[in-house]
């Protein structure tokens, strides 16, 4: 039996499934969580969808986003306390730590995990590991899984899954956008997902605070060799009222500079940690540096979160990235 069939069999047989995705969720994490969750509900199965962080306002157009539970701070995330979880499905997440509070190792001890992901840096933490780094998004992988579960796609499921594909391919612009990605997306459109409406929701709307934050970050660019970087400090966040997770696409924007092969945004989180978002031009691979620093990602887009001061993180990361650039440029 292949991995998809194995995963489908285990999911079909489970009485109470907990589906989780990584914290600071993006469109692929949320779209995958909802897409599979809605499919299992169509099938009449009991399922809890959970994410450690709240769903960003930008994704509130998604059907049933309110059904995603957030674990209570400091409380064990027992979805239905009286009813034990029999299976965990982890989506779009490379390691257990990145599930954050959505995965409580104490209360979920011994519960089998099916790990479905497309990050090359995935550490295979599940009982079944279906990790396909050639997939553009986890949401893309769920289309054959839902087929194997014998659930017909609905417009709502298709909307969630196309959201995942669009977010991770930056609207079909990344090198991961293969003919297969297009074929899957056409299937989702034929089921009723609106490419126009989703593209507009995902890429054409942002809060004014985001633009103000970008304005500040763009005034403080540093080009060292062919590495372009900037930072989002707590002071900047407070000044413009920017409370969102992440850099709202700033690292991807910086990576468009002709003068840079690698772009980095250091984002001070306010809890003593710094999130590092990295982008590399084709021909460079930034995921290995992210992995060495305890994070992960893809060759062209990766990140990590480090529990140190902004200046310490900048020194460490910039030195490792410069070293990786030197090695990779020499190998060309
Ligand atoms: P971002 O820069 O946040 O858009 O993330 C780019 C890619 O790196 C995504 O595929 C993320 O899943 C991955 N990534 C970002 N931050 C981390 C982290 N702290 N740990 C593992 N993977 C990460
Ligand atoms: Mn993701
Ligand atoms: Mn993804």
DSSP states along 106-157: TTTTT--EEEEE--TT----SSEEEE-TTSS-HHHHHHHHHHHTT----HHH
The ligand 1 atom nearest the CA atom of 279: 2
Measure 82 CA to ligand 2 centroid, in angstroms: 31
The ligand 1 atom nearest the CA atom of 287: 8
Measure 165 CA to ligand 3 centroid, in angstroms: 8
Say if ligand 1 is within 6 A of residue 288 CB: no
Say if ligand 1 is within 6 A of residue 255 CB: no
pTM, two decimals, is 0.95
What residues form DSSP beta bridges with 112? none
As given in the structure block, the two tokens for residue 32 are: 């995958």
> What confidence tens digit (pLDDT) does each residue in 284-309 have?
999 999 999 999 999 999 999 999 99
Query: How far is Cα 40 from Cα 48, in angstroms, rounded to an integer?
Result: 10
Measure 25 CA to ligand 1 centroid, in angstroms: 10
> What confidence tens digit (pLDDT) does each residue in 32-76 have?
999 999 999 999 999 999 999 999 989 999 999 999 999 975 455
Tens-digit pLDDT string for the chain (332 aa): 899 999 999 999 999 999 999 999 999 999 999 999 999 999 999 999 999 999 998 999 999 999 999 997 545 555 545 579 999 999 999 999 999 999 999 999 999 999 999 999 999 999 999 999 999 999 999 999 999 999 999 999 999 999 999 999 999 999 999 999 999 999 999 999 999 999 999 999 999 999 999 999 999 999 999 999 999 999 999 999 998 888 999 999 999 999 999 999 999 999 999 999 999 999 999 999 999 999 999 999 999 999 999 999 999 999 999 999 999 999 98
Query: How far is Cα 281 from Cα 186, in angstroms, rounded to an integer?
Result: 28
Q: Could you give the residue ranges of the DSSP H alpha helices within the chain? A: 3-13, 27-42, 138-148, 155-168, 179-190, 195-203, 208-218, 234-240, 250-254, 287-292, 310-330
Query: How far is Cα 38 from Cα 63, in angstroms, rounded to an integer?
Result: 9
Say if ligand 1 is within 6 A of residue 301 CB: yes
Helices then strands, each counted (H, E), the chain: 11, 12
Ligand nearest to the Cα of 21, by number: 2
Query: How far is Cα 327 from Cα 228, in angstroms, rounded to an integer?
Result: 18
155 to 62, 146, 152, 159: CA distances (angstroms): 11, 14, 10, 6
Measure 302 CA to ligand 1 centroid, in angstroms: 5
Ligand nearest to the Cα of 291, by number: 1
Ligand 3 ion: nearby residues, β-carbon < 5 Å: 28, 92, 137-138, 168
Query: How far is Cα 108 from Cα 172, in angstroms, rounded to an integer?
Result: 37
Say if ligand 1 is within 6 A of residue 304 CB: yes
């Amino acid at each position: 039996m292949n991995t998809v069939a194995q995963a489908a069999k285990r999911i079909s047989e489970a009485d109470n499934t907990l589906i989780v995705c990584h914290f600071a969720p993006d469109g692929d994490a949320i779209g995958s969580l909802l897409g599979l969750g809605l499919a299992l509900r169509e099938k009449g199965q009991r399922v809890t969808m959970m994410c450690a962080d709240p769903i960003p306002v930008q994704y509130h157009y998604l059907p049933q986003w309110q059904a995603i539970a957030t674990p209570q701070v400091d409380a064990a995330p027992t979805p239905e306390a009286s009813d034990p979880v029999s299976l965990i499905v982890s989506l779009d997440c490379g390691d257990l730590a990145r599930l954050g509070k959505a995965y409580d190792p104490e209360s979920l001890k011994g519960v089998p995990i099916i790990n479905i992901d497309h990050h090359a840096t995935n550490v295979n933490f599940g009982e079944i590991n279906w990790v396909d780094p050639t997939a553009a998004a986890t949401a893309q992988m769920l289309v054959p899984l839902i087929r194997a579960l014998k659930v017909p796609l609905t417009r709502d499921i298709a909307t969630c899954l196309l959201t995942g594909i669009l977010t991770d391919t930056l609207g079909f612009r990344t090198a991961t956008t293969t003919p297969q990605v297009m074929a899957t997306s056409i299937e989702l459109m034929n089921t009723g997902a609106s490419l126009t409406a989703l593209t507009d929701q995902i890429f054409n709307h942002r809060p004014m605070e985001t633009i103000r934050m970008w304005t500040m970050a763009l005034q403080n660019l540093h080009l060292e060799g062919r590495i372009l970087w900037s930072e989002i400090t707590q002071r900047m966040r407070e000044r413009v009222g920017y409370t969102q997770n992440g850099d709202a696409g700033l690292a991807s924007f910086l990576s468009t500079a002709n003068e840079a092969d690698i772009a980095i945004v250091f984002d001070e989180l306010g809890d003593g940690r710094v999130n590092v978002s990295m982008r590399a031009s084709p021909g460079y691979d930034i995921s290995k540096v992210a992995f060495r620093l305890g994070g992960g990602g893809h060759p062209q887009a990766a990140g990590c979160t480090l529990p140190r001061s902004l200046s310490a993180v900048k020194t460490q990361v910039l030195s490792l990235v410069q070293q990786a650039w030197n090695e990779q440029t020499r190998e060309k």
